[in-house]
Amino acid sequence: MERILVSACLMGRRVRYDGGAKTSSDAWLTGWREEGRLVSFCPEVEGGLPIPRPAAEIEGGAGGAAVLSGAARVLATDGSDVTAEFLAGAQSALAAARSHGIRLAVLKEGSPSCGALSIYDGTFRGHRTPGQGVTTALLESNGIRVFTEEHVDEAAEYLWTLES
């Protein structure tokens, strides 16, 4: 059975920067949870960041690949550099995915770790820009397909191709 890496906040865990969750009621995720397919993970917490914590964004909206290459940093609203924690969390997510043979992930859109299509632009003004978070960029560069919570139907189609 294919396992699926999923953002812990989507599963109701209160791990977000503000101490909240973004619980998804998606039928596919509910079914996959019941089947035991899901591996719930929060890269920011696994990377060593506390709950709650200051919000963080990738400077200049540069994207996760730029952070992975050392060309950009992840900064918190208090000015602290949390790049090391984001990199550690991404590496932990990849290790978890590899240990479970995971080839598919459903992660929280907009997050500086998990965003797959867009991230916040680094100005802390609520503006998004196209791009990926640090964990998504690392997973995708290692052959793991990442979908957002808004594209779970597409993830289900991909899962079907993996199991066919």
Per-residue pLDDT of the chain (164 residues; tens, 9 = 90+): 999 999 999 999 999 999 999 999 999 999 999 999 999 999 999 999 999 999 999 999 999 999 999 999 999 999 999 999 999 999 999 999 999 999 999 999 999 999 999 999 999 999 999 999 999 999 999 999 999 999 999 999 999 999 99
**Contact by Cβ (8 Å): 68, 137:** yes
Query: Distance between the two ends of the chain, CA-based, in angstroms?
Result: 11
The pTM of this model reads 0.97
Helix/strand/coil for 75? strand
